Structure 1
Amino acid sequence: MIPRGSKPANEYSNPNLLLGVFPTLFPYGFGALEDSSRPVQINFREHVRYLLSYGDRRFEEHYSFIFVLFNILQRRTACFHAQLMTSRPYFQQSAQLLETLSSEDVATALLNISKASYSKVSDERINTLMKHIKVVGGHVMGSAYSRSALRTKIHSLCFNLGLPSLFVTINPADIHSPVALYFAGVDLDLDRVLPEVLRTSYECSQIIATHPVATAKFFNCLIKSILKCLVLGGVLGPTKA
């Protein structure tokens, strides 16, 4: 069950991969992701979401499971959009240009970038490579290019609708919120939260750190409530964006 060998394991259509990587999470060797023998096929992303919502929280509290699965999702997204890009007719010209690149050219460009002396027009081949990386990276969640794509959308809204009339930064302190502790499984009566039933700051920080999914649910619930009460037909009235 546990894979061994000098060759990397295939992560596509390999239901035994995670069973072998995390034997303590799948002690009976069942419940694999992308198992073709399952009568009803489940999407990989939705299956991960289901596992992270398990009642016993063993997947959520595992020290590496969530990071390994997130990395797999990132790579799959990058590969999918790279495949789409390479299937476009215009990519043939870029491919011919990229074929002339050598490892020394890339190393030189990286050295120039690290020295902040890289010019955008210094090498057309490097510019083409960076352009394609940016296009693919813009679809990968958590990447620098995805954040850049979001900033571009914000700038587009400003150009189209004008500057925002109200700019608010919301940064909820999850380690001080009883709601976050409730999502993390702490037995609390949210209608009657008393100081003596709350944990110490260290205990709260420890609980929040070991329950990343609960923290994400708390953040999502809080932001949705704020948008619903203040923006979406709430105090601030109708908005354009």
Structure 2
Amino acid sequence: MTASALRRLAPSTPEDKTPDLILHHGSDPIPEYNNPDLIPGMYPTLYPFKIGSFEDASCPSPLSFEAQARYYLDLGDKVFRHHFSYIFVVLNMLQRRKSHLQTHFTVQTARFRRVADTLTSLDSHTIADAAEIIEAEKSTKSLTSEQKRALDLLRYVNTVVQKVPGSYAAKISAHADIRNYFSYFGLPHLFFTFNPSAVHSPIFQVMYGDKSVNLSDRYPKLPPSSERARRLAQDPVAAADFFEFSVNMLFDERLGGRLPPHKEQHHRHSSHPGSSRTKRFLLEVAAILQCRCFAKQR
């Protein structure tokens, strides 16, 4: 296969002007929703037979995009989780879908009618032109009356995207949840930070697939630190599994209670593995420690 690829790079004759690589393009964008051919077309090495695509109407059991992506990351064949761009592209698509469905605007009641009329009267080209002028840091004196109306919307309209994973609003929402716990239970007297290191853990090496690590030994023999760091970078899904396992064991074996179920799913393909689990952990530990402090005082 390599020899065939090299032969194709060289022209058959000196007069041959055929390009080495041809990229087909068109004016119509490829639809992202309900397009079973999108992901297999982007990753032909992961789907050599174009079987198992997303949102396939011929599938007897409907499966959501997010659930199917999570299933591929949990397969015994680690070709999906070890791919250098598959996780990031799928995460980007999930974030866009969340932003399409979960983004909404907030405005003061007194200005609602005025803002609604202005928003419906402006076209997309006017808003895009105003955005380009602001992005280029040009003077706003050259704006037309319609563009100035579009610019005024920024002062009265707020965008809420707190349900989009990884967004700034989602982090602010997590901080607000933690502060609410403090308001209800009071400020805790003891803070505990739990940060298990996957690089130095023999459990992570086993989750990665290293069968030479014996967990029965008191001090299991681990590969060199450079190899452990490479494994962590290659398999972030195993790192997320290790983090979730560590948190569950902390509650089961040290705090004497299982972590309660939560309606939010743990997104293993996030840029920070276990971010939602981290938020839950901080909230629960703060509540447990505060309750124990109150019990001792009584």
Identity %: 31
Q: Secondary structure at the match of 1:174?
A: coil
CA shift digits 1:65-84 (9 cap, x unpaired) = 000000000000010113x6
Aligned partners of 2:114, 2:214: CA distance in 1, in Å? 64
Check the 8 A contact 1:85/1:91 in 2, yes or no: no
Aligned partners of 1:218, 1:29: CA distance in 2, in Å? 32
1:152 maps to what in 2?
A: 176
Relative to the length of structure 1, the TM-score reads: 0.79
* Larger Cα-atom Rg: 2
Check the 8 A contact 2:55/2:63 in 1, yes or no: yes
2:230 maps to what in 1?
A: 206
Indicate which of 20, 29, 36 corresponds to 2:41: 20
Q: Which runs of 5+ in 1 are unaligned?
A: 113-122
Identify the range of structure 1 (221-230 vs 32-41) with the bigger mean alpha-carbon deviation: 221-230
1:128 maps to what in 2?
A: 156
Measure how far apart 1:145 and its partner are.
1.3
Superposition pairs of residues 1-241 of structure 1, within 5 angstroms: 4-6=24-26, 7-82=28-103, 94-98=115-119, 102=127, 106=131, 125-129=153-157, 131-132=158-159, 135=160, 137-187=161-211, 188-192=213-217, 194=219, 197-231=221-255, 233=257, 239=288
Measure how far apart 1:96 and its partner are.
3.1
Q: What is the aligned residue count?
A: 220
The code of the aligned residue for 1:170 comes to F
Aligned partners of 2:62, 2:94: CA distance in 1, in Å? 18
- Pairwise CA RMSD: 3.1
Q: Which runs of 5+ in 2 are unaligned?
A: 1-22, 138-150, 259-284, 292-298
Check the 8 A contact 2:81/2:235 in 1, yes or no: yes
CA shift digits 1:122-176 (9 cap, x unpaired) = x8621334x22xx1x2111011111111111111222222112332122221111
Relative to the length of structure 2, the TM-score reads: 0.65
Q: Aligned pair in 2 of structure 1 residues 124, 159: CA closer, same or farther (>3 Å)?
A: farther
CA shift digits 1:4-50 (9 cap, x unpaired) = 42332111000110010000001111010111101111121111110
The code of the aligned residue for 1:63 comes to F
Q: Aligned pair in 2 of structure 1 residues 102, 22: CA closer, same or farther (>3 Å)?
A: closer
Q: Secondary structure at the match of 1:60?
A: coil
Aligned partners of 2:252, 2:113: CA distance in 1, in Å? 48
Aligned partners of 1:12, 1:154: CA distance in 2, in Å? 36
